[in-house]
A and B are shown apart, each in its own frame.
Chain A
Amino acid sequence: MALLETKNLTIQFGGHTAVDHVSFSLPEKEFKSVIGPNGAGKTTFFNLLSGELKPTEGEVYYKGKSLNKVSAVERTRRGIGRSFQITNVFPNLTVFENVRLAVQSKEKVRYPFWKSTRSYHGLAEKTHELLEQVLLDNKAHMIAAQLSHGEKRKLEIAMLLALDTEVLLLDEPTAGMSLEEVPAILNVIRSIKDQGDKTILLIEHKMDMILDLSDSIMVLFNGQLLADGTPEDIMQNETVQQAYLGGYEDGKSVRNA
């Protein structure tokens, strides 16, 4: 059974249909990538899955149950976590505090108001563990606003991992990164995949990375699902090539949008 699926998922903004009757399914522990040119509706699709937006039509199912009436907060609690395309950390808090908040949520340390957060040693240990995993432990006490763009993306991922959700929605984790910064984030994502306990949906433009990581790829174009299949199927799909890849050859080309 699919862990996460949609049926005819649609959202309209005025006269514009940003996501148009998209039906897809994401089996447990699969790594699926979402590709498509800018404006194809990828992030909107993520917003519908995570509950930031409500669909005009269609349904989102998680473990067979409809999520349409479930808030974004509750979806996170049930097991759908996401990172954001535009870096969305708490800029005036330290790197450590950013991640600790996510750990707090996961460990359900939400309402105590008398004991100092410092006295919860388990939270600190888990936070350092996650910072080590994303190679940010040496910057734990820096203010998040002072991090480089690439480091902020790593911080985002650490916060997402802290929630320990079954599904990870990664929205362009390498967006805006310099070429030097990409391998580090790629390694982090690969290590998450290799652990084998997460179901991952990744929006990305870097085709090398997508081909390297994905079990399957879905292609969105003008809000519609153009194709969904194995990387090989997608690469050989003529419609996809015409609409998006613009003559993808020898695994080196990147998007032409």
Chain B
Amino acid sequence: MSKVLSLNKSIYLIIALALLIFPFVSDSRTWTILLTQIFIFAILAMSYDLLLGYTGIVSFGHAMFFGIGAYTTGIMLDTFAPTLLYFVLSIAVGFILAAVVSFFVGILTLRLKSHYFAMLTLALSGLFLVAAEKWRSLTYGNDGFTFRAPEIFQDRLVFYLLSLGCLIAVFIFLKRFVSSPMGHVLISVRENENRTASLGFNTLHYKVIASVAAGVIASLAGSLYAVSLRFVNTSVMTMDITLDALLMTIIGGVGTLVGPILGAGVIELAQHYLSGLARDYPIFERWIILFGILYIIAVIFFPRGIVGGIQRVFAKLSGKKVKAARPIKKSVVKS
């Protein structure tokens, strides 16, 4: 077991080092930007995996925390000054806002069973979207606003390294989190909430904690996203963001943490190339339809996602009965 773990750790380390070195050996600006985008969405997808994969919570409102981070950073950099200090402060303020909102949303909604909870998160997220649209004095409504990022981020390489650093930090934090006593209770909530309660755990506490942790991490992703575009509008709060996070998690492998990172890579690359093909082949102008097909294929043939599929193959080859990533909940597929 320890050999497998050290093998895993070695692979993670090699990939991290390769990504660290990449911008120094490649002068492709497109790839630097694309990988930065992948890192940011990987952070968002991992935060979603903490909810879906480890706690069994299906949320359709995750975009609101991403939006909170994006707007907080955008507004603070625009209002005060585009300095590194305000950037860091804006992330901290985003954390606090996301924590407070996710705490109250969690307390109010997590007593409900999965479908009702999912619907309510959708409604609350909608409420935040409408607020962002209507509170024009702060958000400039649907049009959004551009702002200046801190000087240091003019260099795309610096922002690439920052995003990669955040991704690694979040990955290590979540890996430890899900391997801790708290993480194991979250997994038991996912498996059988009533049974967990009968063991003397207050399951609501755990679900709220997971919700706050996921909200805060999503807010970090939002802050980075806003700076990467130097622009924020209401699109950061839309259902599309939540669906992207959901897709990335499912395609990568639910309940694996590495899966959502791979999922983010697959989805972002697919979006990039499919929309690029539209220049030559008109059919790809409707690339989102192809995306739908990709999603259906993934759910039917790879219900455990990329990482889950690989785990199963290895398990079969080694003849061991090991735990692989779990298949997606039927409720998610139906939704």
Given contacts A76-B199, A159-B199, contact A110 B182 (CB under 8 A): yes
Contacting B200 at CB < 8 Å: which of A73, A120, A142, A143? A73
Decide: A82 and B198 in contact? CB cutoff 8 A. yes
Query: Is A113 part of the contact surface with B, judged by Cβ < 8 Å?
Result: yes
In the complex, per-residue mask of A125-146: 1 if CB is within 8 Å of any chain B CB, else 0 = 0000000000000000011001
Query: Is B28 part of the contact surface with A, judged by Cβ < 8 Å?
Result: no
In the complex, per-residue mask of B174-211: 1 if CB is within 8 Å of any chain A CB, else 0 = 00110111111101100110111111111000000100
Chain B contact-residue range equals 20 to 34
Given contacts A88-B195, A92-B323, contact A101 B180 (CB under 8 A): no
Kindly list chain A residues whose C-beta atoms are within 8 Å of the C-beta of B196.
101
Kindly list chain A residues whose C-beta atoms are within 8 Å of the C-beta of B198.
50, 52, 72-73, 76, 82, 84, 88
A116–B178 alpha-carbon span in the complex (Å)? 9
Decide: B182 and A111 in contact? CB cutoff 8 A. yes
Kindly list chain A residues whose C-beta atoms are within 8 Å of the C-beta of B191.
90-93
Contacting A113 at CB < 8 Å: which of B182, B195, B201? B182
Given contacts A76-B200, A110-B201, contact A101 B185 (CB under 8 A): yes
Kindly list chain B residues whose C-beta atoms are within 8 Å of the C-beta of A90.
188, 191-192, 195
Kindly list chain A residues whose C-beta atoms are within 8 Å of the C-beta of B188.
90, 93, 101
Query: Is B330 part of the contact surface with A, judged by Cβ < 8 Å?
Result: no
Decide: B321 and A114 in contact? CB cutoff 8 A. no
Decide: B176 and A114 in contact? CB cutoff 8 A. yes
Kindly list chain B residues whose C-beta atoms are within 8 Å of the C-beta of A110.
181-182, 185, 201
Query: Is B148 part of the contact surface with A, judged by Cβ < 8 Å?
Result: no
Kindly list chain A residues whose C-beta atoms are within 8 Å of the C-beta of B156.
none
Given contacts A76-B200, A90-B191, contact A146 B321 (CB under 8 A): yes
Query: Is A43 part of the contact surface with B, judged by Cβ < 8 Å?
Result: no
Total A residues in contact with B, Cβ cutoff 8 Å: 38
Decide: A73 and B197 in contact? CB cutoff 8 A. yes
Decide: B177 and A113 in contact? CB cutoff 8 A. yes
Query: Is A77 part of the contact surface with B, judged by Cβ < 8 Å?
Result: yes
In angstroms, how far is the closest chain A Cβ from the Cβ of B14?
23
Q: For window 147-188 of chain B, which residues contact chain A by CB distance below 8 Å?
A: 176-177, 179-185, 187-188
Kindly list chain A residues whose C-beta atoms are within 8 Å of the C-beta of B180.
112-117
A113–B310 alpha-carbon span in the complex (Å)? 28
> Which interface residue of B194, B195, B200 has the most chain A CB atoms within 10 A?
B200
In the complex, per-residue mask of A102-124: 1 if CB is within 8 Å of any chain B CB, else 0 = 10111001111111111010000
Interface residue ranges, A against B (CB under 8 Å)? 50, 52, 72-73, 76-77, 82, 84, 88-94, 97, 100-102, 104-106, 109-118, 120, 142-143, 146, 159, 163
Interface residue ranges, B against A (CB under 8 Å)? 176-177, 179-185, 187-188, 191-192, 194-202, 209, 321, 323, 326
For this complex, 16 residue pairs linking A to B, each with C-beta atoms less than 8 Å apart, are A72-B197, A73-B201, A77-B200, A88-B192, A89-B195, A90-B191, A92-B323, A101-B196, A110-B181, A110-B185, A113-B181, A116-B180, A117-B180, A117-B181, A117-B184, A143-B323
